[in-house]
Structure 1
Amino acid sequence: MSQKFHNPVATFFGNDSLKEIRTLTENQHVALVTFPEARSLGLIDRVQALLGDRLAYIVEDVQPNPDVAQLAGLYERFWQQAGHCHTVIALGGGSAIDTAKALIVGTQSGRFNELLELLAAGQAFTPAQAKSLIAIPTTAGTGSEVTPWATIWDSANLKKYSLHLECTWPKAAIIDPQLMLTVPRGITVSTGLDALSHAMESIWNVNANPVSDTFAVSAIGDVLACLPALCKDLGNLELRARMALAAMKAGLAFSNTKTALAHSISYEMTLRHGLPHGIACSFTLPMVLGLAWGRDPARDQVLQQVFGPDLGTAQQRLRQFLHSLDVKTDFSDYGVDANEAEQIVGYALLGARGKNFIGAERSPVH
């Protein structure tokens, strides 16, 4: 049976690759979307030095988990003040890249509520206008630099939206490990586990294909070997580069499959219990591995390339790995009792991402 792998993002990897923005934005007006600490870290000055007068607009107050309450005003100011910009550079973690993806999708009215209504309808649409995106991650985990998806939260109403259009594929991704040297341990762990989850979720996935499997297996091996060592030596550029590459490979894997059950569970854990995304989507990995094992011989073969032939040993290895990073692996560790955990998993199995999980219709909820 023919299987397709597609990823249109031009990807630049390696130390000093930030300088590629000069060539990629030639003769263009550019807007920069980044996080509040970027200026004190000298990142805005570096971009300014590379772009000069091309840098026409800066958003530097991106918040974690972009929420509609904050995005509405930001979006409308952006289209009023930066409408002349051709390209948006997203510099930061997943939240900066997700925010930029929301900003580049222009509505007829220039109002954010129009975009929100289109997202709520859950149907594909063609935006009235759009800008090009260059994604430059400063953390190793999100993979958003090589995928079209952005998660937009509505915490007041306990909702999340997934934005994905043809225009939200980045035109280019620049992965420069030097930009990740200042990331603290907590964020290094959380984002690294997000990458691990992306890779594993792309394997126990109804949309898996041989190319996504190849990227996923490689990414999992790298994260398991590298992340604990990096947490003990945060300034190690070689380890930062390995994690950056692993996160990119995981992103390439799930750019074709989307995520699955662990991510579907994570949305409820973030909305209802405030759990950071990287922890919310990874603490259930041993449990979900148990639900996936034995569902599909071909998927088992891929998982066993990483974890060996015994499920119990595989789950124990995964739990020990998470515990070594101070990540607990039971719902009760996060204030969720057995009844609520059952409800969360049951609800997650019915969600769009939950339905990507192999054997979703047959999975026991416990």
Structure 2
Amino acid sequence: MTARFHNPVDTRYGYGSLKELVSLTEGQNVALVIFPEARGLGLVDRIQGLLGDRLVYIIEDVQPNPDVAQLRSTYERFWRDAADCETVIAVGGGSAIDTAKALIVGTETGTFDELLALLATGKAFEPARSKALIAAPTTAGTGSEVTPWATIWDSGSQKKYSLHLDCTWPKVAIIDPELMLTVPAGVTVSTGLDALSHALESIWNINANPVSDNFAISAIRDILECLPQLYRDLSNKELRSRMALAALKAGMAFSNTKTALAHSISYEMTLRYGLPHGIACSFTLPLVLGLAWGQDEARDRTLQQVFGCDLITAQSQLRAFLHALQVKTEFTDYGVSAKEAEEIIAFAMQGARGKNFIGSQAA
């Protein structure tokens, strides 16, 4: 069988690579989407200094897990006041990049509700207009800079929307580890575990292929070794670089496979229990590893390249890794009863991401 791997994102990696913005946006009007703390860190002024007059619009009130309640007014202001911007630059974690992906998809009327109605169909659509996206992550974990997906939340209705169009692939990804030096311990862990989940989820996945496996295996090995060290030494430039590259590799892996069961479970844990995404999609990894093991010989061989040949030892290794990062690994640790956990897992198996899991057919 022929394996196919495709990723159209022009990727720039290395310390100081944020300066690439100058050549990438030459002659363009640019909008910036950035997280609220960025101005206090001097990052807004730094980007303004790089871009000068071409930076004509700034959105800096991005919230975690972008919700329709806030996105609606931001979206409609953007299309009213910044319609002449050719490019949107997203600088931040997954929430900033997801927000930017929602903004660049223009509707006929310029209203956000029209976009929601299109998303609610669950089908691909051709946007009335769109803008180019440059993504520069400030955390090592999201992978959003090399994938087309964005998650939009509706906490009021306990729903989520998944945005995925040709235009939501970033045109360019800039992975500059210098942007990650000030990330606090909790966010470093949460986003790093998101990257670990991306890599593992791309392996126990019906869409896995040898190319995505290579990215995933390398990412997992790096994260298992590097993240605990970085947790204890947050200002270490070499460790920040290694985690940035590991997260990029994990993003490349799942850019072709999508995620699977752990992420499907995470959506319920975030909506119902308010768990941050990186923790919500990683605390079940030892459990999901056990559900995946034995489902497919080829997938087992890939997992065993990382964990060895004994499942119990593999699960123990993964739990010990998570516990060392102060992450609890049982549903009961998060106030979820055994019965509720069974219901969440069963429901997650039926979700779009759950159906990517190699064990979903046997469930």
Q: TM-score range by the shorter chain?
A: over 0.9
Match of 1:346 in 2: 346
Q: 2:61 is matched by which residue type in structure 1? A: D
1:25 maps to what in 2? Answer: 25
Q: 1: CA distance between counterparts of 2:187 and 2:301?
A: 32
In the other structure, the counterpart of 1:10 is 10
> 1:77 aligns to what SS in structure 2?
helix
1-side partners of 2:299 and 2:354: how far apart?
A: 17
Amino acid at match of 1:128: A
Letter in 1 for 2:103: L
1:137 aligns with 2:131: no
Superposed, 1:102-251 pairs within 5 Å as 102-251=102-251
Figure out how many residues of one structure are paired with residues of the other and give that number.
363
Aligned to 1:89: 89
User: C-alpha displacement at 1:361, in angstroms?
Assistant: 1.9
Query: 2: distance between equivalents of 1:278 and 1:93?
Result: 11
Q: Offset at 1:359?
A: 2.2
Question: Post-superposition shift, 1:235?
Answer: 0.3
SS state of the match for residue 327, structure 2? coil
Task: Report the Cα distance in structure 1 between the residues aligned to 2:126 and 2:47, rounded to whole angstroms.
Answer: 31
Alignment-mate amino acid for residue 331 of structure 1: F
- Cα deviation for residue 184 of structure 1 reads 0.2
Letter matched to residue 353 of structure 2: R
Q: Give the TM-score, by structure 2 length.
A: 1.00
Match of 1:299 in 2: 299
* Identity score, percent: 75
Deviation of 1:95 (Å): 0.1
Are residue 289 (structure 1) and residue 289 (structure 2) matched?
yes
Give the Cα separation in 2 of the matches to 1:277 and 1:203: 20
Please provide the CA RMSD for this pair. Answer: 0.4
Q: What is the CA–CA distance in structure 1 between the aligned matches of 2:109 and 2:237, rounded to whole Å?
A: 46
Tell me the distance in 1 between the aligned counterparts of 2:289 and 2:347: 18
Distance in 2, matches of 1:144 and 1:35, equals 15
Counterpart AA for 2:333: D
TM-score w.r.t. structure 1 length? 0.99
The letter of the residue matching 1:169 is W
The aligned amino acid for 1:112 is F
Instruction: Please name the residue that 2:361 is paired with.
Output: 361
1:156-200 superposed Cα distances (whole Å, 9 cap, x missing partner)? 111011100000000000000000000000000000000000000
Shift of 1:71: 0.3
Per-residue deviation, 1:57 = 0.3
* Alpha-carbon distance between aligned partners in 1 of 2:94 and 2:327, rounded to the nearest angstrom: 20
| Structure 2 counterpart of 1:269 | 269
Structure 2: how far apart are the matches of 1:192 and 1:285? 13
How far did 1:3 drift?
Answer: 1.4
Three-state SS of the structure 1 residue aligned to 2:33 is strand
Spell out, residue by residue over 1:291-324, the C-alpha distance to the aligned partner (whole angstroms, 9 max, x if none): 0000000000100000000000000000000000
Instruction: State the one-letter code of the partner of 1:301.
Output: R
Q: 2-side partners of 1:90 and 1:223: how far apart?
A: 25
* Structure 2: gaps (5+ residues): none
* 4+ long deviations beyond 2 Å: none
